[in-house]
Structure formats: structure tokens, C-alpha cells
Amino acid sequence: MSLEIEATDVIKIILQFCKENGLNESFNTIQNECQVSLNTVDSLENFVSDINAGRWDVVLPTVAQLKLPRSKLEDLYEQIVLEMVELREIDTARAMLRQTQVFQRMKADDPERYIRLEHLCGRTFFDAREVYGGSTKEKRRAAIAHSLSQEVSMVPPSRLMALIGQALKWQQGQGLLPPGVAFDLFRGQAQGQRDEVEMYPTQQEYEVKFAAKSHPECARYSPDGQLLVTGSLDGFIEVWDSATGRLKKDLGYQAEEMFMMHEEAVLACNFSRDSELLVSGSQDGRIKVWKIRTGQCLRRFDRAHAQGITCVSMSKDGTQVLSGSFDGTVRVHGLKSGKMLKEMRGHTSFVNDAIFSADGSQVISASSDATVRVWDGKTCECLQAFRPPQTASGGEVSINSVHLFPQNQDQLVVCNRSPTVYLMTMQGLVVKSFASGKREGGDFVACAVSPRGEYIYCLGEDATLYCFGVASGKLEHVMPVHEKGPIGMAHHPHRNLVASWAEEGPLKCWKP
């Protein structure tokens, strides 16, 4: 059953926050603009007690922040004037009569009542029996206190902060928020460390070990930077803490060893933009979409492709899954319908990578047929097909991956199976090239681009990491990262962390 929350209640909570923090102008503006009044007191008992005791210096500031019916306000103000007259505080009584809004309205709408009070101020004596007409001052105060208490309510202090605190505790209880982390309330996520200056890695931060006969085939950092997900040869999908490399045991299903799984090797995985969903593709052509926090499989595409899935990604709005396959096709699947929506045919060999353009209107794919193709996202028409410069041997050089260049998203970083990586336009023009200088045994198998596009990292078949400075165009650092069988690499979204994995087993995370 869904709870309905009144908009006026939300405004009241904001008004309370303004009141408690002395934001009086904001309080008055919101109250007047929204026509919603807070009408709360810190203590109802004290409010009633102050009226019964005639502590008007305390009562009036409290009442000034309340929206009360006119008749009840007039009764209160009239009582205060009568008591001022009784105490012979005639100047105070006259000032209230002539300067307050309550009495100005009374003078216009109920002149007899107003004139009676003016006459009392001019008298030299005060007759309580005549003024209160058979009642008493104490009874009048009690009646006013009761009447006003019906218009106000008492709520616990700091409701806004209390509700936020409760929500964060619930999120922690559900495993949505790791305990003991700072939380960025505005962004809606735990505060991740951010590296201000981009630097290439030089040393190992940690390594993630896998079962004896398994190894990671794919890995991705979540866009919020909190998680690292791996897909393995044995079909397991595991979620790790990106900072420590430890398995996320605060995810209940992982704590109980109930992992997300495919029947065959998981070759590709990727996150939705909000880091809530994970899409994975396996050797048998299946795609699954998971809810990370629960491990629940939200959607299966059992016949997504005729052969193994090589790459997957989600559209910006999270409604579509883009995939490429060994079957040579690029396809778009609908998350809601569970059906294939579009197919792009034209590659003559494996599709190794497929991504959406920055605005989502185009699809860019890379293939073992040595071409990059740019497709219209709506019509599936091939708008452009181009090849990076080929090696002297003249054979078709397989393209491993394409990446949008952060500094200019109309440009692509194109990594093919050669010792050179290219920065190219969408029309196929080479803007810049970065070569390792190694003539044999150093062809690149994978590539990653730093978040701000200052570095391009390539993993060579020699299990070496090559770090290119984009501005300088030079190879700035070389580092061996595995023994043998390098497979892939990924870059953290806002830290100087690079993950690499190979057939030899562990995934390794590297830092400056």
C-alpha cells in the first residue's frame, strides 16, 4: 500500500526548519506565497500556561507566527488591552489600539467594540465587574487559552532533520547505504572520494581473487564510484567495494552467497546511469538486467543474440539495452517490453563494442572487420563507416573498443589490435595517434580513458599497461600488470584507479 503525503505537510516541515534556524524572511515569504501556516508551538502546555498567567510579552511573539481566525485574535488582543488599562498602562493600551492590524480591522468592521475600548482608556477608574460582565479576568484568560489551543498543534522539533535521519537509517538497513560513510544529501549518494588531479597509476592498490578455475571476463565501476562489478568465466556476477576490493557483504544476497548468475561465462556488464541497475551478457547470447541492491533479475532476454554477447550498455533514461555480439549484429532491446526493438546489420565479423553517442541519438560500434560504424539510433541506417589507419602488413586489424572522448564528445578514442591507439572524429578523420613504439608482441587488447580525458590507457597483449598523455601525445609510463593472458581494463569514474584483469586469475586495481 502506497502512502500519500500532502504537499501542505511538506511545506510545514520546511516552515519549521526556517523558524528554528531564524530564517524569518524565508518563513514569511513561504507562508504568504503558499498560503500554508505552520501553527505549531514548541509546547502546548507552556502556551496555555503563558496565556492563563497573562505573560503577554511571551504570548504575542508566538502568536505573531501563527495564522489564527480573526475573531480569536480580536478576543486575545482585547483582553491584553483591558489588562493594560487595569494596570494603568494607558500609553501601551492606546499604542496597541492605534497601531496593530487587528484593531485597525476591528475599527473598520466593528466600530462599537473599538470605541468601547477607546473610552476605557480615557477613564480614570477600572470596574472589573462592568468590563467582564459577570465573568472574571482569570475565566476570560482560560477561555481564550482553550480557544487558541484548538488552533495550534505541537510537533517534535527538527522534523526535517529527523525524517532525513530516519530515511538514511532505513537505507542502511536495506543495504542501500554502507554504514559509517559520509552521505551527500544533495547528490543522494555516499560521498565518494574525488581526485582533483588526474595521474597515471604506478602501484597496486589491491587485488580481487577468484575461484581456482575461474577468472573475470568483464568488470565495471558504477557511475557513483562506490561499486566494482565483475562477471566471471563460471557465470558468477559479484559486487565489490571499489575502494577496498572486498566483497560487498552489506548486500544481503551476497552475504548469503546467493549471487547474481548466468548459466555460462559472463562476457559483458554495465550499469545504468543511476548505479541502481546492472545489465549483463553471457556466452550463450542471453542478457539479464538486475537490481543491484536486491540481486533480483528484473528482465531476461533469453535470445538476445544468436551467439555470445560481447558488450552491453544502457540508454541514459534506463529504458533500453544496447548490445553487440559475436553474431555480427548490434541490437537495442526494450526493458519494459522485454523485446528486441532495433537491429543494426552491416558488420562482417564480430561486434566487439557498441556505445550510445553523448546525446543518445546515434550508436557507434566497433568490429573485428576493422571498421567503426556510426548508426542512426532511430532508423538503424549506417551513417558512417571508417577504418583507423591499417598496419603495414595489410591484414584487417580487429577493433577492440570505442570510447567517447571526454574533452570533445564528437570525437572517439579507437583502440584496435595494434600498438597504436587513435583519437578520431565521427567522420573517421585521425585527430591524434598514440603509439607504444613496440613492434612485436605489444598489440593492444583493451583500452580505457581517464574521466577528464587527460590520459588514455592501453593494455597490451604483453600484459603491460601503456599510459599516454593526451596533451603531450607521448607515452608517459609503462608498467607490467599481469603474468599472461590480459583480457580487459576499466577506469574509476572520478578517482585515479584503474582495474585490469587477465586469464591468470585475479583482478588488480592500480593507483598512482
Percentage, residues of the chain above pLDDT 70: 94
- The Cα 145–Cα 272 span in angstroms is 58
Q: Tell me, what's the pLDDT at 1?
A: 43
Beta-carbon contacts of 27 under 8 Å, excluding residues fewer than 6 positions away, are 15, 18, 19, 38, 65
pLDDT in tens, 320-343: 999 999 999 999 999 999 999 999
Sign of torsion over alpha carbons 184, 187, 193, 198? negative
Phi, psi at residue 134, to the nearest 5°?
85, -10
Helices 111-122 and 101-109 meet at what angle, rounded to 10? 120
Rounded to whole angstroms, the Cα distance separating 444 from 391 reads 13
- Residue 65: per-residue pLDDT: 78
> Residue 381: what are its φ and ψ, rounded to 5°?
-75, 140
pLDDT of residue 450: 95
Where are any strands of DSSP class E within 103-226?
Answer: 153-154, 183-184, 189-190, 203-208, 216-221
pLDDT at position 37 is: 77
Could you say which DSSP state residue 61 is in? H
**pLDDT at residue 325 in the model:** 96
Q: What is the dihedral of CA 355, 356, 357, 361, to 10 degrees?
A: 150
**β-pairing verdict for 40-41 and 153-154:** parallel
Neighbours of 454 (CB within 10 A): 18
Grid cell, residue 500, equals: 585490469
CA–CA distance, 201 with 205 (Å, rounded to integer): 9
For residues 69 and 151, is the Cβ–Cβ distance under 8 A? yes
**Using one digit for the tens of pLDDT, what is the confidence trace for 257-277?**
899 999 999 999 999 998 999
Question: If 0-12 CB within 10 Å is exposed, 13-18 middle and 19+ buried, where does residue 406 land?
Answer: middle
Exposure string for 461-489, b = 16+ CB within 10 A, e = fewer: bbbbbbbbbbeeeebebebebbeeebbbb
- Any bridge partners for residue 384, and if so which? 374
Cα 11 versus chain centre, distance: 23
Low-confidence residues of the chain, pLDDT below 70?
A: 1-2, 172-194, 391-394
C-beta of residue 450 within 8 angstroms of C-beta of residue 198: yes
For residues 127, 129, 132 and 138, what is the CA-based torsion angle, rounded to 10 degrees?
Answer: 100
